[in-house]
Structures are given as structure tokens and as C-alpha cells.
């Protein structure tokens, strides 16, 4: 299906027919004059996944709240973290030797584990 273009005249015709909204997606193009006319006549321009500006989606801030099941599974995660920590330290020591301190390595592993929800 090709792109659908709306001009100023198309918007006027829509309003006369009683249509008060247009769904805007990748295949819909409004000319500048059509956009201005739609705003002036009160035509609502809708987008399929429209999020209001007052509620931005910020996945780096909005973290899911852990359920009781997740909290109970943290006991198993402690074992996982200890195993992962040992494996990572072993691999880093094999690759870099003593260039990285144990303290720094522990902090990095803890940070990654907490970001992955393992801690």
C-alpha cells in the first residue's frame, strides 16, 4: 500500500463530513498547510502508540517492582552470583593477570549483578 497524502482541502472535506480525527502512521503524510488547518479546525492527530508528554517512558528509571516470587528466588541468586564471581575472576586473572585489583573486580561484578537483577 502506498503513502496517503492529506492536503488542506482534504482536511476541510473531512471536517465537513464530520470526521474529527486522523490516525497518523508511517504511510500518512500531512502537508504543512494541512497540519495547520487540522490544528485550527480541532482535528485530532492520533498516533498508534501515542504516549502523553507528561508520562515519558524511561526504562532506565522505571524499574519493575520485584514480586514475592522474585524475592524468594534471591536465595538461589546468591549461589549464582558466587559462582559467576568465581568464574569471572578466574577468566580475568587468566587474561589480565594482576592488572585489575580484587576490590575493583568485586565492585564491577556487584554492579553488573544488581543491574541484571541478580542481587
- Residue 31's pLDDT is what? 93
Domain boundaries, the chain: 4-46, 68-115
CA quadruple 27, 29, 35, 37: dihedral positive or negative? negative
Give pLDDT, residue 108: 86
Strand, coil or helix: 5: strand
Indicate the length of the chain as a whole number: 119
pLDDT, one tens digit for every residue, the chain (119 residues): 688 999 999 999 999 999 999 988 888 999 999 999 999 999 998 887 655 666 666 666 655 555 555 544 555 566 677 888 888 888 888 888 888 888 888 888 888 888 777 76
pLDDT at 114: 81
Res 17: pLDDT: 93
Amino acid at each position: 500500500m502506498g503513502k496517503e497524502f492529506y492536503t488542506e482541502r482534504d482536511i476541510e472535506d473531512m471536517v465537513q463530513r464530520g470526521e474529527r480525527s486522523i490516525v497518523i502512521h508511517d504511510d500518512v503524510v500531512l502537508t504543512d498547510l494541512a497540519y495547520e488547518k487540522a490544528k485550527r479546525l480541532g482535528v485530532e492527530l492520533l498516533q498508534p502508540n501515542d504516549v502523553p508528554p507528561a508520562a515519558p517512558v524511561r526504562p532506565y528509571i522505571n524499574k519493575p517492582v520485584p514480586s514475592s516470587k522474585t524475592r524468594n528466588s534471591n536465595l538461589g541468586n546468591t549461589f549464582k552470583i558466587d559462582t559467576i564471581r568465581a568464574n569471572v575472576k578466574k577468566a580475568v586473572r587468566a587474561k589480565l593477570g594482576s592488572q585489575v585489583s580484587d576490590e575493583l573486580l568485586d565492585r564491577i561484578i556487584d554492579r553488573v549483578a544488581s543491574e541484571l537483577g541478580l542481587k
